[in-house]
Amino acid sequence: MTGFGTAAVHGDDGLVPGGAVAPPIVQSATFSAESDERFTEIATEARGSAFYTRYGNPNHAQVAAVVAALEGAETGLVTASGMGAISTVALALLAAGDHVVVQRSTYGGTTSLATGLLPRFGVDCTQVDQTDADAFARALRPETRLVLVETPSNPLLELTDLAAVVEVAHAAGALVVVDNTFATPVNQRPLAAGADLVWHSGTKFLGGHSDVSAGVVAGGAELIERVWRTSIVTGATLGPVDAWLLLRGLRTLSLRVERHNANALALAEALQGHPAVARVRHPGLPSHPQHELARRQMTGFGGVLGVELTAGRDGAAALLAGLRLAKRAASLGSVSTLVVHPRSMWAGIVDAEQLAATGIGAGLVRVSTGIEDTADLVADFLTALERVPT
């Protein structure tokens, strides 16, 4: 395989029509055929890009090819959001009577899908502590179809041992589906560790500029075709302009991730030990309880960190109020540093009982570092911390 920079720029070579260096936006909902025979062909072709945009569009195909190249996958699929990706995967691969295993610490939407929506369709779910590979083994049943993994997890930055979970899940006949949003393929490649499908919120690092909502799934051709057949029914179709924006963002992924990685590690090191800070969560810190695992399965530690303030909720509020560069906003993986108080945000998507079980403390602030200069970013936080109670 080529390097990530090359894959991001050339992964769609051959899928761009004419001599255009930047792909044209094919803003067309439908495509004409010159004959009856040709119409039947395009209407029945799996994953074609020449029939109807809900079935596929050239801009979708280009993004899918680049994501597949980055993840080392046979092929990929784009959706209108990250949740569009995982809900389509779930509806494609599950039926009543099946069982899924999901992490206790995982994106709130994934928790809601597994513990709220799927049970209404007769799919049972077990939540496990992701840091305990044996907990996955204990949760597996003969009817377990999917194991939903997220590492590092949102927002606690806990890790899952990918190789260990793949081994026990496959031995039990279950598929492993990994949310790689936090790490990005530049830092971690779940398919190489044996996972069956990898998905992302393309809204985050892949798009990278907070200007598009999108999702992607990548994996083997047979599984992706099953997901595609469901996607044309569920209809979470990405608009062509948004697919173009996602591709535009992907071109610079490896450059941006290098800076995100460097900024997050520098900030984590600068904040660790500050009297107003009780604990910094970042897989790149030797103080992270799973740092050894991070070194084994990641090539970089990602752009997100968790800062737990000594003064709890009041400390978190004071930090957020004092920051100048970092913006208080949901989402992550942006060129701009974004900070959020997860306990407040999660209350809107996860029910109270689930929220209590997540382990998200009232003093936790999630920081998604942008690509600002490291020194400016560290100075912004250290200045804000001067006014934070200890």
Smaller CB distance to ligand PLP: residue 98 or 150? 150
Q: Quick check: helix, strand or coil at residue 128?
A: strand
Among 53, 81, 160, 237, binds ligand PLP (CB under 6 A): 81
**Rounded distance between C-alpha atoms, residue 219 and residue 67, angstroms:** 10
Catalytic residue status for 47: no
Taking CB under 6 A as the rule, does residue 181 contact ligand PLP? yes
Give me the phi and psi of 2, to 5 degrees please. -80, 175
Nearer to ligand PLP, 51 or 182 (CB): 182
Among 47, 104, 189, 204, binds ligand PLP (CB under 6 A): 204
What is the closest distance, in whole angstroms, from the C-beta atom of residue 20 to ligand PLP in the complex?
28
Does 82 engage in binding with ligand PLP (CB under 6 A)? yes
Whole-angstrom distance, CA of residue 205 vs CA of residue 218: 16
One DSSP character per residue, 277-290 reads EEEEE-TTSTTSTT
**Residue of 55, 104, 107, 189 marked active site:** 107
| One residue of 185, 215, 239, 302 binding ligand PLP per CB under 6 A | 215
Helices (H), strands (E): how many in the chain?
17, 12
User: Binding string, 111-150, against ligand PLP, x = CB under 6 A?
Assistant: ---------------------------------------x
Q: Is 52 a catalytic residue?
A: no
Residue 105 found at the interface with ligand PLP (CB under 6 A): no
Q: How many CB atoms lie within 10 A of CB 214?
A: 27
99-108 in b/e form (b: 16+ CB < 10 A) is bbbbbbbbbb
Among positions 67, 70, 83, 157, the unique one binding ligand PLP when judged by CB under 6 A = 83
Tell me, yes or no, if 12 is annotated catalytic.
no
Residue 213 binds to ligand PLP (criterion: CB under 6 A): yes
Q: Count the alpha carbons within 13 Å of 288 in the hemisphere toward its beta carbon.
A: 25
The token duo for 202 is 């393309």
Angle separating helix axes 240-250 and 58-71, nearest 10 degrees: 30
Using the contact rule CB under 6 A, the part of the chain among 7-15, 128-136, 179-187, 340-348 near ligand PLP is 179-187
Smallest distance, ligand PLP to C-beta of residue 207, A = 9
What distance in Å separates the CA atoms of residue 335 and residue 146, rounded to the nearest whole number?
33
Select 316 or 338, whichever has its Cβ closest to ligand PLP.
Answer: 338
User: Is 179 known to be catalytic?
Assistant: yes
Active-site annotation holder among 12, 179, 242, 380:
179
Q: Is 203 in the site for ligand PLP (CB under 6 A)?
A: yes
Which one, 321 or 330, has the nearer CB to ligand PLP? 330
- The reply on whether position 179 binds ligand PLP by CB under 6 A is yes
Assigned token pair, 167: 């081994």
- CA dihedral 24→28→34→37, nearest 10 degrees, is 110
Contact 114, 128 (CB under 8 A): no
| Of the residues 59, 144, 201, 337, which one makes contact with ligand PLP according to CB under 6 A | 201
Q: Of these residues, 54, 248, 259, 279, which one is catalytic?
A: 54
| Catalytic residue (choose from 204, 256, 281, 366) | 204
Stretch of residues binding ligand PLP (CB under 6 A), selected from 89-97, 201-209, 221-229, 284-292: 201-209
Strand order in the sheet with 215-219: 75-79, 215-219, 197-201, 175-179, 144-150, 99-103, 124-128
Cβ contact 181:214 at 8 Å = no
Active site positions, annotated:
54, 107, 179, 204
Residues forming the site for ligand PLP (CB under 6 A) = 81-83, 107, 109, 150, 154, 179, 181-182, 201, 203-204, 213, 215, 332
